[in-house]
């Protein structure tokens, strides 16, 4: 788990393994401009963030009572009581060749 220096986390938040709450990558010249400012997301109360998710950016706010599914990548805010998940992939079955 990676939690950036300026992350704000509310009450009753559940964060599972492998979650990153970080800053957006910037060019070297922009880093100095943001030094001392909020660079990491805000997680409001009662949010659940499942395994492998990445939430980036100082202006990114995850609204109260939202659920962020596993392996989701976010760089923008989510309103309260929102559920964000990755669409289930299609399973493609191919018949294997028969060897004699």
The pLDDT assigned to 27 comes to: 75
Residues 56, 4 contacting (CB under 8 angstroms): no
Please report, for the chain, the start and end positions of each structural domain, with discontinuous segments joined by +: 2-84
For the chain of 100 residues, list the mean pLDDT of each consecutive stretch of 10.
89 97 80 77 98 95 98 96 91 73
pTM for the whole thing?
0.81
d(CA 15, CA 1): 9
The pLDDT assigned to 33 comes to: 72
The pLDDT assigned to 9 comes to: 97
Q: What fold, for 2-84?
A: UDP N-Acetylglucosamine Acyltransferase; domain 1 (2.160.10)
- The CA-atom distances, in angstroms, between 9 and each of 38, 73, 90 are 13, 18, 35
Rg (CA), the chain: 18
The pLDDT assigned to 38 comes to: 85
Which residues, 6+ apart, have CB-to-CB distance to 40 below 8 Å?
3, 4, 5, 6, 7, 21, 22, 23, 56, 57, 58
């Amino acid at each position: 788990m990676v939690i950036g220096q300026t992350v704000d986390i509310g009450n009753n938040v559940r964060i599972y393994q492998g979650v990153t709450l970080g800053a957006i990558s910037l060019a070297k010249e922009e880093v100095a401009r943001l030094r001392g400012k909020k660079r990491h997301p805000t997680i409001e109360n009662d949010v659940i963030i499942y395994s492998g998710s990445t939430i980036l950016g100082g202006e990114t706010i995850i609204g109260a009572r939202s659920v962020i599914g596993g392996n989701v990548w976010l760089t923008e805010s989510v309103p309260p009581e929102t559920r964000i998940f990755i669409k289930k992939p299609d399973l493609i079955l191919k018949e294997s060749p028969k060897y004699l």
